[in-house]
Amino acid sequence: MTNLFQNNVVSTFPDITKIDFIKINKKYLKVILLNISLYFLLLLIGLILWDIYFLNEQIPNQKIYIYLCLILVFLFLYTVFIIGFSKRKYAVREKDISYKSGILFKKTTTVPYNRVQHIEIDQGPFSRIFKLAAISVYTAGDSSDDLKISGILKEDAIQIKEFISNKIDG
């Protein structure tokens, strides 16, 4: 199938398999775990309240299973995120930016700079504690599904943003 292109191969032909991806900042794992724990706590409190006010004597035996379920779900989430964390990698190249993630569902996305519409940097409350930030790169069309890299140092994010902005304007 490659016959057609052999005369076009340029020396700078970008090859996604040959570049070195950088892992995101290790501190971001703490942010993720904090976030999950927060959800866990909220759900737990909700469940306890529900338990006290509504469940009183209706199903006393099954109560324990509901708690067990919640704990199991969150244990599973913790494992998935901890294992998956090492798979979150990004790469900034001369002409595009890439991000890959996932263990059960692997995903690699690349956005060429000459299609970028705008770039955003945002910081969640936990990320702010660790001086981390997320950078989102938007392209035209249905931009809900573009590239977002969470968990890089804020200085790095700003640098990347400026680097890409320069590329777009230049």
Partner 1 sequence: MGNTTDFKHFTKQSKKGILVIYINLLYKVFKAIWVLLFLFIQKFSKISEDKLVYIYGFIAFILLFFLIRAYLIFKNFQFKIDKEYFVLKQGIFKKTNTEIPFDRIQNINFKQNIIQQIINVHEVNIETAGSTKAEISIKALAFNDAKALKNAITIYDKKETIVEKVTKEKPFLKIGFLELLKVSLTENHLQSLLLLFAVLVGFFQQINDLFDGLGQKETIDKYISENTSALETSVFLIVGFLILLTITAVLSSVVRVVFKHFNLTVYIKNNALEIYQGLTTKKSVILKRNKIQHITIATNPIKKILGISFITFKQAISGKVAGKKQKDKIIRIVGCKTEQINQIKKLLAIHTQLEEIPFQKSNKYLKIRNYIRSLFFFIPLNLLFYFGMEEYNAFWINILVIPMYLISVHFFYKKRIFKFSEDVLCIGFGILETHNTYLPFYKVQNIKLKQTIFQERKNVADLIFQTASGKLKIPCIDLEKAMFIYNYTLFKVESSTKSWM
Binding to partner 1 (CB under 8 A) within 66-125 occurs at: 95-96, 103-115, 117-118
136 contributes a contact to partner 1 by CB under 8 A: no
Count other C-beta atoms under 10 Å from residue 135's C-beta. Answer: 26
Count other C-beta atoms under 10 Å from residue 134's C-beta. Answer: 19
**Tokens 């006290």, residue located:** 52
Binding to partner 1 (CB under 8 A) within 12-31 occurs at: 13-17
Q: Please check whether residue 132 is in contact with residue 154, taking contact to mean a CB–CB distance below 8 angstroms.
A: yes
Helix (H) or strand (E) holding 155: helix 154-169
Q: Which of 6, 8, 58, 62 binds partner 1 (CB under 8 A)?
A: 8
The minimum distance between CB 141 and partner 1, in angstroms, equals 4
The residues of the shown chain that bind partner 1, judged by CB under 8 A, are 1-2, 4-5, 8, 10, 13-17, 95-96, 103-115, 117-118, 138-147
